[in-house]
Every structure is written in structure tokens, then in C-alpha cells.
Amino acid sequence: MIALFVDKIRFFDTTLRDGEQTPGVSLKPDQKVEIASMLSDLGVATVEAGSAAASDGERTALRMIADAGLSAEVATFVRALPLDIDHAADNGADCVHLVVPVSDLHISAKLRKRREDVMEMALTAVEYAKERGLVVELSGEDASRADPAYLADLFREGVERGADRLCYCDTVGILTPERVAEAVPPLLFAPLSIHCHDDLGMALTNTLAALKAGASSAHVTVNGLGERAGNTPLEEMVMALETLYGVDTGVRTEGLYALSAAVSKMTGVPLPVNKAIVGEMAFTHESGIHAHGVLRNASTYEPIRPEQVGRTRRILLGKHSGSASVRAALQELGYACTDAQVGEIVSRVKIIGDEGRRVTDADLMAVADAVMEIVRHPVITLKQVTVISGSNVIPTASVTLTVKDEEVTCAATGNGPVDAAVEALRRAVSDVAAIRLEDYRVDAITGGTDALVDVSVCLSREGRMITSHGARTDIIMGSVEAMVSGMNRLLEEKR
């Protein structure tokens, strides 16, 4: 393992500030409290709760987070202005992230001031924040394009005036590990944080380089959210330190995926399917050689166990699948097949894969039933579905099903017509079983306004999970088809 300069790494999470600056993202105060609580429970040292000076809503969120009794330090972004600092102190912040532009570009073009003016503003703000009883993290904005001598003078004077911590900001993501190694050591007048952006894909690498060079704190965001290309991802940073550097971060890593999924849902920013650690495909295998190796020994094709980050391994079936992965999937679904039957099922699975389709659990079960000549009667049958949606109308769905030969009609509202239809279906079978929708995906198969869409759903019941799909030109009916198919499989008696 490569040793870092310091033994204890602090994580300063700025999801609720820099992460919320992702275009189109706006979190409500209660959502911010929920995310802050999850971060604190995970073991993050500092949660930056937004910018107290920005709005009444931001101040409300800061106060709610400060009153939540978190173990994490609660910080807020402030400029070198007394009013910003007052907002922070008056609303319960423990710490201010005092950000001061330090490059000549920012000083002249943005502030229209001189270096001397910014120095005086920064030092006065540090002193005032300390008078208000706040921890001060003095941050040099655009430090990677600043005069190193000026930055060092500002940081040195800031610490002499009372700053508790310092922060080097690579505001536009132009650092390299070599430059980091040169920039960090001369600035260690106090504990130093590194704040990197990912414009050139270097945020994680540069953050690691800074920690190796003497920085003791990493600024991160969940899922790498942030302006433009985002910031250093918390989940990747933690697992890189734990796995590659042998550092005990103190973070409860098994909670990383739940946090990631919650933030993705609340912000409306989907996770790239191939994203490290938390992406859908991070622990998913299809290739016959890979799947066979993983089934025998997971470390053959996985650097970490999925359980370490709150995930489970998935073996997807498709045209690359071999008999080992198909047999394992069949066994998990409760089928006991002969070698000849497995061979025929593999052949049919490959045909489905060659058609460009993802092979869901329901697909595999249908193929296995056909090969094994099993006749099944559906537990539920859809008789009718009606959905009402439009401007100034709450989306409402009504469904009529036969459930175990009894007719059931149920209605529900939702955030949209699909959500309403899914909820109505779940309620219709609630007397028989509690079924949860774990995942929902839509892919357009053809182009145009009459595009055929493939809806995939993942449903669960009492720990058992099933994937199924529906393909229609109508996204609502495609979703209903996928739900009914999956629910039928979950409601079948155990084999």
C-alpha cells in the first residue's frame, strides 16, 4: 500500500452546496436534512449545508440541519462579507467555508479589485467570523491559477488572524498530480483541504495526490455532483482510499449505495449505468467467461465485494451468457434443470440477446417453462386500466384485475400517469402481497413520435426480486404490462 502523508482523512461533503449547483437541481429543506443525516450517519466529518446568504429557504435548511443533532460539523458557504457571516452564525452553523477569489483573473474580472483589497477583505472576514464563534475554513477560489506567493501570503496571514483550516480550490479542474505535489507542501500553515472539479476527469486523481502531498481533508460530493462536470465523488474517494491505499476512512461504506440512490432520486440526476461503485453495471456481469469466473471466485473480475458498499452482484443474461451463469440464474429462480434442458435454455436466451433485448427474469422463466413443458396459469389478469392526466389535473389511474379469480378494482394518484398506474396496480394486490417497485427503466427501441419503448421493472416481495419488461408504443401500457408480468411471477407459489 502507498502511505499517505496523514493518518486521518477528513471528508468535507458539499453535496448540499456545490452539488446543488448542478444545473436543474434544487433541493427542499427537508430533503437537505435527510441527505445531511445520511452523510452524518455515514461518518462524514463536515456537511456543507448550502449558502446561508442565498435565500430564506437556504437559511431554513441550515437551521433545520443545525437543529437535527448530527454528529457531523455543519458548515455553510460565505463570502468575505459581514452579512454572510451573520446569516451563518444566526442560523446555527458550526463552521463557515469562507471563499475568497485568489487568482488575478477572478480578482480583476469578477470582483474588479486589487490583490491588496482582497487580502484585507479576507483577513477582516476571518477575524469577524472568529468573533462570532465560528470555525473558519479559509478557501482560495481558483487557487490553481493564482500566484503561488500571493496565495501563500493570504493563507499565512489568515491563519495568524484565526483561520482554523485552509482549502485549495481547483475551481476549473486544471490541476495535474505533478502540480498538486508542488503546490500543497508550501501551504501547510494549518490543516489543508483540497477541493477539485472534474472538468478534465482528474478530480479524484488530483484529490488523492493532494492527500499524499500533505492535505488532510477532501472536499467531495455524492455521485460527483457539481457545476459543469462535477466534483470529486465521495463514494469513489472513500473506496479508493480503503482499497488502494489501505486507509481506514472511518466511513460506513455499506451505506454508500443507499446514499447514492437517495441523492440521485431527490436531485433527479440519474446515475450513469457504468459509474464506478454505484452505477447499475458496477457489479453486473454478462460475458460467459466473466460470469463463470465470478461465480467460482468473485475476485477474478471484481476488485471489491459489492456488499462492502451496500450492493449485490447481478448476473445478466444475454447473447454472451454461458451455461454456468444461466444455470445459476435458474437455480436462484427455483428451477432444477437437466444438462440438456440448460443447453436448450442457453440457446434460446442467446436468440433473445441477438434481438438486442435484455433478458429479464420473467423472460428466463418463460423460456424455462417452455423447455420444461410447464403450464402455468396467471395469478392476476388485467381487465381494464384508465389513466387521467393533464394540466391542472392530478394524475389518477384506475385498474381492474382478477386476483386469484376475484375481481379487484383500485385507484391511485401519482406524480405522473405512469406513477399513478404503478401505484394502482400495487394497491390492487396489496391484500395478497406487498410488492415494491425497486427499479424502473425506459428505453426507446425505435425513433419517432410512435416509438416502441421497452419498459423494464424490478419488483420485490419478501426479499425475492424479479425483473420483467413490457414493450409498447404507449409508455403507460408498456409499464402496466411489465408490472403485471413481474407481479404474476412474484405471486406464483414456490416451486
User: Running DSSP on this structure, what letter comes out for residue 229?
Assistant: T
pLDDT at 279: 83
**Which has the higher per-residue pLDDT, 2 or 307?**
307
Cell match 382478477: residue? 402
Pairing state between β 284-285 and 436-444: unpaired
pLDDT band, residue 354 (cuts 50/70/90):
confident
What count of other Cβ atoms lies within 10 Å of the Cβ of residue 357? 18
| Maximum Cα–Cα distance across the chain | 84
Quote the pLDDT of residue 128.
98
Predicted TM-score (pTM) of the model is 0.77
Residue with cell 427542499: 28
Q: Which three cell numbers stand for residue 266?
A: 431527490
Summarised one tens digit per residue, pLDDT across range 148-168 is 999 999 999 999 999 999 999
pLDDT band at 450 (very low <50, low <70, confident <90, very high): low
Strand order in the sheet with 453-461: 436-444, 453-461, 464-472
Cβ(234)–Cβ(220) below 8 Å: yes
Q: Calculate the CA 492 to chain-centre distance.
A: 34
336 or 192: which leads in pLDDT: 192
Mean pLDDT, range 264-287, rounded to an integer: 80
Q: What is the pLDDT of residue 298?
A: 58
Beta bridge partner(s), residue 401:
382, 408
**What is the per-residue pLDDT for 288?**
40
Three-state secondary-structure class, residue 313: coil
Cell of 72: 457531523
* Residue 233 backbone dihedrals phi, psi, to 5 degrees: -75, 130
Alpha-helical (H) ranges within 10-95 are 29-42, 56-66, 82-90
Give the CATH H-level superfamily of domain 10-267: Aldolase class I (3.20.20.70)
Handedness of CA 329, 335, 338, 343 (dihedral sign): negative
Query: Which range has highest mean pLDDT (318-327, 412-421, 460-469)?
Result: 412-421
pLDDT the model gives residue 173 = 97
The phi, psi pair for 231, rounded to 5°, reads -115, -175
Amino acid at 250: G
* Residue % of the chain over a pLDDT of 70: 91
Which one, of 238, 228, 186, lies nearest residue 207 by Cα? 238
Distance CA(352)–CA(454), nearest Å, equals 14
Banded model confidence at residue 297, pLDDT cuts 50, 70, 90: low
Mean predicted confidence (pLDDT) in 214-230 = 96
Contact 281, 314 (CB under 8 A): no
Cβ(33)–Cβ(40) under 8 Å?
no
Please state which of the four CATH numbers 1.20.1070.10, 3.30.160.270, 3.20.20.140, 3.40.50.2300 is assigned to the domain occupying 380-491. Answer: 3.30.160.270
Q: Does residue 44 surpass a pLDDT of 80?
A: yes
The predicted structure's pLDDT at residue 328: 78
Least confident of 61-65, 131-135, 403-407, 451-455: 451-455
Phi/psi of residue 155, nearest 5 degrees: -65, -40
Is the separation of the CB atoms in 194 and 184 below 8 Å?
A: yes
Going from the C-alpha of 438 to that of each of 282, 441, 457, the distances in angstroms are: 17, 11, 8
Q: Would you say residue 295 has pLDDT above 50?
A: no
Residue 329 or 194, more confident: 194
For residue 492, name the pLDDT band (cuts at 50, 70, 90).
Answer: confident
Neighbouring CB atoms inside 10 A of 36's CB total 27
For residues 378-400, average pLDDT = 91
459, 434 contact by CB (below 8 A)? no
Q: Inform me whether the pLDDT recorded for 290 exceeds 50.
A: no
| Spatial contact of 395 and 415, defined as CB atoms under 8 Å apart | yes
Which residues, 6+ apart, have CB-to-CB distance to 409 below 8 Å? 398, 399, 400, 401, 428
- Tell me the torsion sign for CA atoms 85, 34, 215, 206: negative
Residue 193 C-alpha cell reads as 483541504
Q: Which residue has the cell 403485471?
A: 484
Percentage of the chain lying above the pLDDT 90 cut: 61
DSSP one-letter code for 234: H
Q: Which of 341, 364, 370, 344 is closest to 286 using CA atoms?
A: 364
The per-residue pLDDT for 377 is 82
Q: What is the dihedral of CA 333, 336, 340, 346, to 10 degrees?
A: 10
Residue 4 pLDDT: 63
Check whether domain 284-371 has CATH 1.10.238, yes or no: yes
Residue 355: pLDDT above 80?
Answer: no
Domain range summary for the chain, segments of one domain joined by +: 10-267, 284-371, 380-491
d(CA 113, CA 271): 41
Average per-residue pLDDT in the chain? Answer: 89
Give the pLDDT of residue 3.
Answer: 57
CB contact at 8 A, 361 and 466 = yes
pLDDT in tens, 90-129: 999 999 999 999 999 999 998 899 999 999 999 999 999 9
Cβ contacts of 215 within 8 Å, gap of 6 or more: 5, 6, 168, 184, 192, 193, 194
Reported confidence tier of residue 185, pLDDT bands at 50, 70, 90 = very high
The continuous run of DSSP H or E covering 180 comes out as: helix 177-183
Judge whether residue 67 has pLDDT over 90: yes
Phi, psi at 226, each rounded to 5°: 155, 175
pLDDT over threshold 50, residue 495? no
Q: What is the pLDDT of residues 25-43, one digit of tens each?
A: 999 999 999 999 999 999 9
